[in-house]
Amino acid sequence: APGRTLLVLGHGSHLNADSARAVHAHARTLQGAGFDEVLTGFWKEEPSLRQVLRTARYREVTVLPAFISEGYFTEEVIPRELGLSHQGRVPDGGVTETVAGRTVHYLRPYGIHAAMTGVLLDRAREVCPTWTPERTALVVLGHGTRRNPRSKEAIEAAARRAGATGLFAHAAALYLDEPPHATDWREHTGGLDVIMVPFFASEGWHTLDTMPAELGLPGPVSHLDGRVVSYARPVGTHPAVGSVLTRLVQEAPARPAPVDADHAAAWAALTTAAEGGLDVGELRVTPQPDGAFALHHAADAGESGLTRVPLDDLAAWTGRDNQGEHRPIRTRRGLPRGWLARVPREHLRAALHAVYPAVTEEAHAWDAGELPVTPWAETAARQSGRYRPVRRATPETVQAARERLCAGCLRTPLWAGEPLAATFLSGGTGLPCAEACTLLVSDVAHLLEAPHP
Ligand code: SF4
């Protein structure tokens, strides 16, 4: 039947599994928004922005950047990595383009929605249930970035709208990275009581620990120089953000469209192969007599006492290795051992996507001769921001990064010219890597900064 895919995109992290938590929570909330599937994608984790469209089942895809403000990521990185021709500010109502046969509706980030003012006030009330308007200042805290002044607009608009409610004697937008600096909050609030609300998407170590310390606040509610200073939790993790997101995605002009034929063919091939028992990387998929499938680490075959993992927990469970380390690139060796998932046939796709996102679609495309390979030079030329220096990396530096990272990865780096005869779908064991991942790009950047011995 025709349907619509919703993609919720976030930044993610190479280092910290918690960074993607807010995006996953938003995706769960949006399961009730009327789409036929809701998927996530990340800049620094898998499924990556480059892969994620291929994982969409339907030819109609709504893309929501789960970002708090407009700027470098929403205006440059995400459109570019998704293959949109649009660059720059996204107009009201979003941008609609066709990418590889799919109609993509790319929306503005949720943080600029006027309804976020209500969320901001909710956060303020949480930390300070009552205040006297004429004696209280609101400080909206943002990161700020000189690279794109528009990233400040959401913060300034939020402060302006909150100020217009008449609930504060004064409302100011202050920044961590640029003037007016958050550390100067005393100068901007006179002798008033202060409520500070971080206008951030997620609740990181930075928000909870380093920021209050940098601002000289001993706790969420501090009595300093005869006034009360309250420090709220970030707006992005408030449950009410769910209804803002729902309104945003429901306003998009998406209509149900057919299932993508290549996607359907890839998963039909996977299911057929799994019916005979299949290894995908370190994962073993075994058919069960009742038509379900069992998934576990191939090295755990025959083991008893494996921990049963429900499908909903599978992505998070396999996103860490047995030492608890984050696995941003899922095909790097280190799939944890000791677990077992049993899934009905109709959930095999979701289970495999949770463990190894995008590998089935990419393997099927490679077997069909339809997986475009992006050589390193092209990937490097596309990089911007802090990764721009990789454009001048020598072949030796790229080779050094490959030896450090690709050697521990189950994928074959086709982008570096390595051959791959048969994938796990066509009788072999290979997993194609059509383009250097962001972990490799980042490693090349680090090698350029501080060459390893
Ligand atoms: Fe794996 Fe290397 Fe490809 Fe990254 S670039 S996914 S480490 S093969």
How far apart, in whole angstroms, are the C-alpha atoms of residue 389 and residue 91? 31
* CA contacts within 13 A on the Cβ side of 54: 27
* Pair 76, 128 in one domain: no
Enclosing H/E stretch for 143: none
The predicted structure's pLDDT at residue 148: 65
Residue nearest to atom 4 of ligand 1 (CA): 437
Q: Are residues 182 and 204 in the same domain?
A: yes
Q: Are residues 90 and 9 in the same domain?
A: yes
* SS3 at position 227: strand
- Unique residue bearing structure tokens 């990064």: 401
Tell whether 230 and 120 lie within a shared domain: yes
191 inside domain: yes
Looking at the domain assignment, is residue 345 inside a domain?
Answer: yes
pLDDT at 450: 77
- Write the residue with the smallest CA distance to atom 7 of ligand 1: 406
The residue whose CA has the least distance to atom 6 of ligand 1 is: 437
Does residue 102 sit in the same domain as residue 244?
Answer: yes
- Quick one: 351 and 375 in the same domain? no
- Mark out the alpha helices in 276-387 (DSSP H runs): 311-317, 348-355, 359-367, 376-382
**Distance (Å, whole) CA 125 – CA 127:** 5
- State the Cα–Cα distance between residues 239 and 25, nearest whole angstrom: 9
Q: How many CB atoms sit inside 10 A of residue 113's CB?
A: 19
Task: State which amino acid sits at residue 435.
Answer: E
Closest residue by Cα to residue 282 from 227, 330, 229: 330
Ligand 1: residues with CB < 6 A are 329, 331, 405-406, 409, 411, 413, 433, 436-437, 439-440
Q: Which residues of the chain have pLDDT under 70?
A: 146-148, 204-209, 451-453
CATH number for position 60: 3.40.50.1400
Ligand 1 probe mutation, 50, 371, 433, most atoms within 8 A of CB? 433
Ligand 1 atom with minimal separation from the 411 CA: 8
Q: Which of 404, 406, 412 to mutate to test the pocket of ligand 1 (most atoms within 8 A of CB)?
A: 406
Question: Residues of 337-360 as b/e, b for ≥16 C-beta within 10 angstroms?
Answer: eebbbbbeeebbbebbbbbbbbbb
Q: Which residues contact 232 (CB under 8 A, 6 or more apart)?
A: 123, 124, 126, 127, 128, 195, 196, 197, 198, 220
Domains contained in the chain, number: 4
Domain's final residue, options 204, 237, 270: 237
Q: Is this complex scored with an ipTM above 0.90? A: yes
The SS3 call for residue 26 is helix
364 in a structural domain: no
Q: Which two tokens stand for residue 402?
A: 């490959």
Q: What CATH number should be reported for the domain holding residue 322? A: 3.30.1360.190
Residue ID of nearest Cα to ligand 1 atom 5? 436
Instruction: Return the pLDDT at 221.
Output: 93
Question: Per DSSP, what are the bridge partners of residue 413?
Answer: 433
According to the model, what pLDDT value does residue 205 have?
Answer: 56
Q: By residue range, what is the domain housing residue 192?
A: 116-237
Q: Are strands 339-343 and 307-308 parallel, antiparallel or unpaired?
A: parallel
Q: Report CA(443)–ligand 1 centroid distance (Å).
A: 11
Which letter does DSSP use for residue 210 in this model?
A: I
Candidates 319, 329, 309, 235; CA nearest to 45 is 329
Considering the domain architecture, whether residues 228 and 121 belong to the same structural domain is answered as yes
pLDDT in tens, 58-96: 999 999 999 888 888 899 999 999 999 999 999 988 999
191 shares its domain with 294: no
- In this structure, the dihedral spanned by the alpha carbons of residues 162, 167, 168 and 169, taken in order and rounded to 10 degrees, is 130
CA of 283 to the centre of ligand 1 (A): 18
Instruction: Write out pLDDT tens, residues 373-421.
Output: 999 999 999 998 889 999 999 999 999 999 999 999 999 999 999 999 8
Determine the residue of 330, 409, 442 to mutate for testing ligand 1's pocket, defined as the one with the most ligand atoms within 8 A of the Cβ atom: 409
Q: What is the pLDDT of residue 265?
A: 97
> Is residue 222 located within the same domain as residue 289?
no
Q: Is residue 392 part of a domain?
A: yes
342 lies in the same domain as 419: no
Measure 405 CA to ligand 1 centroid, in angstroms: 7
Kindly state whether residues 75 and 142 are assigned to the same domain. no
In this structure, is residue 362 part of a structural domain? no
Q: How far is the CA of 136 from the centre of ligand 1 (A)?
A: 52
- Last residue within a domain, chosen from 357, 383, 418: 357
Which of ligand 1's atoms lies nearest the C-alpha of 412? 8
pLDDT of residue 154: 84
From 229, 260, 291, the end of a domain falls on 260
Nearest to 195 by CA among 122, 86, 254, 244: 122
Residue type at 378 in one-letter notation? E
The total of other beta-carbon atoms located within 10 Å of residue 372's CB is 9
Is 99 in a helix, a strand, or coil?
strand
Q: State in Å: Cα 331 to ligand 1 middle.
A: 8
